[in-house]
Amino acid sequence: MNTRVNVMIASLIALNLAMSKVAATLSLPVYLDSVGTILAAAMLPWWAVLFVGSATSILAGFVVHPAFFYYVGTQLTIALIAIWAVRFGAFRQLWTATLSGAVIAVAAALVSAPVTVLAFGGVTLGGTTAINAVLLAAGQNVWQSVLGGSLIVEGLDKVAACLLSAIVLRRLPSAMLARFSSK
Amino acid sequence: MNPFVLSRTVVSLAALLSVAQDDLTMLTTVTAGLTLAFAVIRGAKPCARQIGATLLMVLPLFLVHGVVNPTFTQSTSFYGIPWRVDGASYAALISFRMALLFVAVGIWGGLPRSVTLALLANSRIPTSAGLALMQSLLMSRVIARRVASIRLAQKSRGALGEGRLVRKAAGAVAMVVPLIATTIIDAHERGHALTRMGVGATRFLPPHSLPRPDLADAALALAVVVSVVAIIEGGFVRAHY
């Protein structure tokens, strides 16, 4: 593995871990643990993006919260869609980045909802549980409420992550991006 | 216990979690045993911290399934609040599974950092992948420190978004964008410097060597794993046959 790519992989995983801690510290209703994965899609080869996604889940299970172990599939889904979005130049403009965020959010919600229901009985981190409880009290079953809650939270989180990534990519030196380009 | 043997034992116990079935007695026994082991190995304070973190997830579970979830039928009411016994037992089952996971992670997390790094360096995963994982573990602390200093700087000039959600989000963006950009530029420069120094040109040699487990440690670890298997299997057999 190229040393430069290796160091960048490590930094992006660490960024994911640190960002999820920042979100928890500021009590934001988002996770922000996929910014590094989305940036990796714009800067690194596809295998490195998948590595960043899966390693984030595993390490976050130890460093942030044990529940993260179960969401490896969600991180891999985010990585795959982000790679696809980068190939279509989705992070060049803010509105296309927002659209990519929405697509990633729907996919992430669909993948993570079964894990949330089967492994955690519908209770996860942060504000999602409160939304799920409100939907349950409104008469929906666990699956419907978890999916509804995940769509709301993931929608906020992934759109924010994609917008942040697009803003950061604009601020980085172009020579650096060209060196790391996945194309 | 030798930290090397301890870590391997914890990994084996975590793997056994997948075997855990729907038997509350069995899960209670295993969780209580592991929590006790955790308190003995790591001390009361880290154990209490881990229990607190578990309770943060357990309490909403009981609230959601024991009170709110209409899928479970209401058994009784307590000062006008509905109480669903089936929902509460379901919440208890999930809670014990989570507690087990929290304890396993807590024991692993208490290992000295040098042992964690040595384990990664000596594991069978490819050297470059191990190197990336080791760096990310160390880097996450550096970034966390950077977050703290940016927050302090923002606070001192009154730019920290606190209070309303919109202000909080604006403050977070002002903090997060420079943080991400700096991290990436730093990584780029570090990678460049390491390449210039010849890192990656030759095979990476692990800097730490692991202590060899002695016979007593290995026997103790085996006894723990066998006891847990026996408890799980016993509970499983009682519950299903």
What is the value of ipTM here, to two decimals?
A: 0.81
pLDDT digits over B85-118, tens only?
A: 888 888 887 887 777 777 777 776 666 667 666 7
Nearest CA in chain A to B139: A14
**Residue B25 in this model has a pLDDT that exceeds 50:** yes
Q: Which residue has the higher pLDDT, B152 or B222?
A: B152
Residue B29 in tokens: 């026994």
Residues of B in contact with A17 (CB under 8 A): 136, 140, 143
Q: How many CB atoms lie within 10 A of CB B158?
A: 6
Check residue B241 and give its pLDDT: 44
User: What distance in Å separates the CA atoms of residue A138 and residue B28, rounded to the nearest whole number?
Assistant: 33
Closest partner residue to A120 among B94, B129, B142, by Cβ? B94
Q: List Cβ neighbours of A17 (8 Å cut-off, separation of 6 or more).
A: A33, A56, A59, A60, A63, A64, B136, B140, B143
Burial of B31 (0-12, 13-18, 19+ CB in 10 A): buried
Is residue B119 within 8 A of residue B125, CB to CB? The reply is no
How confident is the model over B36-42, as a mean pLDDT? 72
Buried/exposed B194-212: b ≥16 CB within 10 Å, e otherwise: ebeeeebeeeeebeeebee
**Residue B234 in this model has a pLDDT that exceeds 80:** no
pTM: 0.78
**Residue A172 in this model has a pLDDT that exceeds 80:** yes
Closest partner residue to A17 among B102, B108, B140, by Cβ? B140
Closest partner residue to A13 among B53, B136, B184, by Cβ? B136
pLDDT digits over A79-126, tens only?
A: 999 999 998 888 888 999 999 999 999 999 999 988 888 888 877 766
**Residue B22 in this model has a pLDDT that exceeds 70:** no
Check residue B221 and give its pLDDT: 64
B177 touches chain A (CB under 8 A): yes
A149 band by pLDDT with thresholds 50, 70 and 90: confident
Cβ-defined contact of A3 to B195 (cutoff 8 Å): yes
Check residue A97 and give its pLDDT: 93
Q: State chain A's mean pLDDT as an integer.
A: 85
Check residue B57 and give its pLDDT: 77
